[in-house]
Amino acid sequence: MHSLSEVKLGIVGLGYVGLPLAVEFASKYDVVGLDINPARIAELRAGKDSSLEVEPERLIAATRMRYTADPGDLADCNVYVVTVPTPIDDYKRPDLTPLEKASQALGGVIKQGDVVIFESTVYPGATEEVCVPIMEKVSGLRYNQDFYCGYSPERINPGDKEHRVTTIKKVTSGSTPEVADFVDTLYASIIVAGTHKASSIRVAEAAKVIENTQRDVNIALINELALIFERLGIDTLEVLEAAGTKWNFLPFRPGLVGGHCIGVDPYYLTHKAQEIGYLPEVILAGRRINDGMGAHVAERVVKMMTQRRIHVVGSNVLIMGLTFKENCPDLRNTRVVDIIAELGSYHANVEVYDPWVNPAEAEHEYGITPIQTIENGRYDAVILAVAHRQFTSMGAQAIRALGKPEHVLFDVKYVLPADQVDARL
């Protein structure tokens, strides 16, 4: 194992997690950043980050950082940090393909004494049950004799300029006590918020996966309450604001649960739980509720249109926002697509407008081509799906002007006051 003065870092994956981390490490260490997307490497070399997580001036200032699409360029490194995505497949099962490919690539470059640290969200045990055997097989090296591992789960919040890499406390762990100390010291050298050293890799893996599972279940409860209050004719936000006057009431809001974490991570935990013979009832119930909210929004809009004698078939519906959260270009696992799909089943003409989205990415990921401009008086229904600042600054009058004289305005994100919209969650 190496001392901090000898560290040469290789960061595998330069997305929302990997790039900010790599830039922070590059303030103190030599860093090689690897991404399999040549276009991503080209833009980073040009000082541009399309994810908008790192400012151009910070990219340019990271002089100890170099970018590559060739895993062979990691050969001179001795500490590696893996920040590749861990998505789910169409059947909501963990898709470990990116993690397995990263492990294969690292197996080809790791050497005696090297340390591989994983940040990707996984189920407890995945690092040592999936990644380590691959690296052992490819490298011919032995785990905890020739090379070592650590796990330090990412806590990046895309689009959040307040909670950054260095200001969020970091959980760390290692495959031996000595490695755990090394990994903790390495992260402590850049994380001003401090670190929390877990007793094992499995504990750190479990801590990460329950962070978002807890949020998911809490949001599911609020979503279910919203479904109940709708039937009772009570405004959900008013109820939550009233209940929120109690000091220990948790301030969750109903909505669509997407993104690369909250809508995905619980399935990693439930997969592992079922593998060991336990059916996780509460977590899966929460997932079912949250996964159904997009269709619920569409059905409410269709019902209101029908009540107003607006023909749904052939109608023009505007969806404002496609990303999974506000003020961020991240499209990963956005549940706005569920609204679009449900409206499409009624043969409505759905147009999507989102000034934050890369149109080519939307087309590639979802087959959706966002419109570039919106025109007044065109739409039979307008759905405020994401609370981008461009939308909140428009105000009710400007948003209403997009609709025909008779239209439905549905506010998913509580952008507007209740008396200025036709319905909201």
Angle between helices 201-232 and 293-307 (to 10 degrees): 20
The string of DSSP codes covering 120-183 is S---TTHIIIIIHHHHHHHH---BTTTBEEEE------TT-SSS-GGGS-EEE-BSSHHHHHHH
> At 90, is the secondary structure helix, strand, or coil?
coil
Residue 131, CA distances (Å) to 126, 134, 165, 188, 398 in order:
7, 5, 25, 25, 52
Parallel/antiparallel/unpaired status of strands 115-118 and 148-151: parallel
Tell me the C-alpha distance between 181 and 183, whole Å: 6
Helices (H) and strands (E) in the chain, counts: 16, 13
Q: Would residue 149 show up in a list of annotated catalytic residues for this protein?
A: no
CB-based burial, 142-152: b 16+ in 10 Å, e otherwise = ebeeebbbbbb
Q: What contacts 31, CB < 8 A, 6 or more positions away?
A: 8, 9, 10, 11, 22, 25, 62, 64, 65, 66
Tell me the C-alpha distance between 235 and 404, whole Å: 26
Torsions phi, psi of 220, nearest 5?
-60, -40
Catalytic residue, candidates 77, 131, 261, 328: 261
Q: Which residue numbers are catalytic?
A: 261
